[in-house]
Amino acid sequence: MNYTQSKDQLLSLIREGGKLDWISQVKLTALLSFPSMLAQMVHILMQYIDAAMVGSLGAHASASIGLVSTSIWLFGSLCAAVSVGFYVQVAHKIGANDFAGARQVLRQSFLSCILFALMLSCIGVSVSSYLPHWLGGGEDICHDASLYFMFFSMCLPFSMLNSLCAGMLRCSGNMHVPSILNIAMCLLDVVFNWLLIFPTRTYQWSMSDVQCSMTIPGAGLGVVGAVLGTALAFVICSGLMCYFTVVRSKELSLRQDSGTFIPQRNTLRESFHISAPIAVEHVILCGAQIVSTIIVAPLGTVAIAANSFGITVEALCYMPGYGISDAATTLVGQSLGAGRRFLARSFGRITLGMGIGMMTLMAVVMYCCSPALLSVMTPDIDVQKLTVQILRIEAFAEPMFAASIVCYGIFVGARDTLVPCAMNLSSIWLVRIVLAAMLASSMGLRGVWIAMATELCFRGIIFLVRFFTDSWLSKAPQMKKKASATTDSCQPDNM
pLDDT in tens, 218-244: 888 888 888 899 899 989 999 999 999
pLDDT of residue 208: 67
Give yes or no for a contact between 124 and 451, defined as CB atoms under 8 angstroms apart: no
pLDDT of residue 210: 76
Neighbours of 13 (CB within 10 A): 18
Give yes or no for a contact between 116 and 277, defined as CB atoms under 8 angstroms apart: no
More confident residue, 402 or 230: 402
pLDDT of residue 417: 84
The amino acid sitting at 422 is: A
Q: Mean pLDDT across the chain, nearest whole number?
A: 85
Domain presence at residue 233 = yes
Domain presence at residue 145 = yes
Tell me how many helices (H) and strands (E) the chain has: 17, 2
More confident residue, 434 or 301: 434
481 DSSP 8-state letter = P
Neighbours of 21 (CB within 10 A): 12
Using the predicted structure, report yes or no on whether residue 152 has a pLDDT greater than 60: yes
The C-alpha atoms of residue 60 and residue 80 are separated, in whole angstroms, by 30
Confidence of residue 487 (pLDDT cuts 50, 70, 90): very low
DSSP 420-443: HHHHHHHHIIIIIIHHHHHHHHHH
Number of domain units in the chain: 1
DSSP 357-390: HHHHHHHHHHHHHHHHHHHHH---HHHHHHHHHH
Give yes or no for a contact between 185 and 234, defined as CB atoms under 8 angstroms apart: yes
Taking CA atoms, 180 is separated from 37, 270, 299, 332, in Å, by 11, 30, 40, 23
Helix H segments across 299-340?
301-337
Mean per-residue pLDDT, 171-175: 86
Domain presence at residue 482 = no
pLDDT more than 70, % of the chain: 92
Give yes or no for a contact between 10 and 24, defined as CB atoms under 8 angstroms apart: yes
pLDDT of residue 479: 53
Residue 2 backbone dihedrals phi, psi, to 5 degrees: -80, 180
Confidence of residue 386 (pLDDT cuts 50, 70, 90): very high
**Sequence-separated contacts (24+) of 427-436 with Cβ below 8 Å:** 427/455, 427/458, 427/459, 427/462, 428/285, 428/288, 428/455, 428/459, 429/284, 429/288, 431/455, 431/458, 431/459, 432/288, 432/292, 433/288, 433/291, 433/292, 436/292, 436/295
Q: Which domain holds residue 452?
A: 3-475
Cα atoms in the 13 Å half-sphere on the side-chain side of 377: 31
483 DSSP 8-state letter = S
Confidence of residue 278 (pLDDT cuts 50, 70, 90): confident
Domain presence at residue 331 = yes
Please count the residues of the chain.
495
The C-alpha atoms of residue 357 and residue 363 are separated, in whole angstroms, by 10
* Digit-coded pLDDT (tens) for 455-484: 999 999 999 999 999 888 876 665 544 443
How would you class 349 by CB atoms within 10 Å of its CB: exposed for 0-12, middle for 13-18, buried for 19 or more? middle
pLDDT of residue 486: 40
Mean per-residue pLDDT, 206-213: 75
Domain presence at residue 491 = no
The C-alpha atoms of residue 291 and residue 17 are separated, in whole angstroms, by 49
Domain presence at residue 481 = no
Range in 46-55, 255-264, 404-413 the model is least confident about? 46-55
247 DSSP 8-state letter = I
pLDDT of residue 495: 39
* Digit-coded pLDDT (tens) for 22-46: 888 888 888 888 877 777 776 666 6
pLDDT of residue 3: 61
pLDDT of residue 200: 86
Domain presence at residue 487 = no
Confidence of residue 118 (pLDDT cuts 50, 70, 90): very high
pLDDT more than 90, % of the chain: 35
List the one residue out of 304, 408, 296 whose CA is nearest residue 348.
Answer: 408
Using the predicted structure, report yes or no on whether residue 80 has a pLDDT greater than 70: yes
* Digit-coded pLDDT (tens) for 329-383: 889 988 888 888 889 999 999 999 999 999 999 999 999 988 988 887 778 888 8
Mean per-residue pLDDT, 314-327: 84
pLDDT of residue 340: 87
The C-alpha atoms of residue 477 and residue 415 are separated, in whole angstroms, by 7
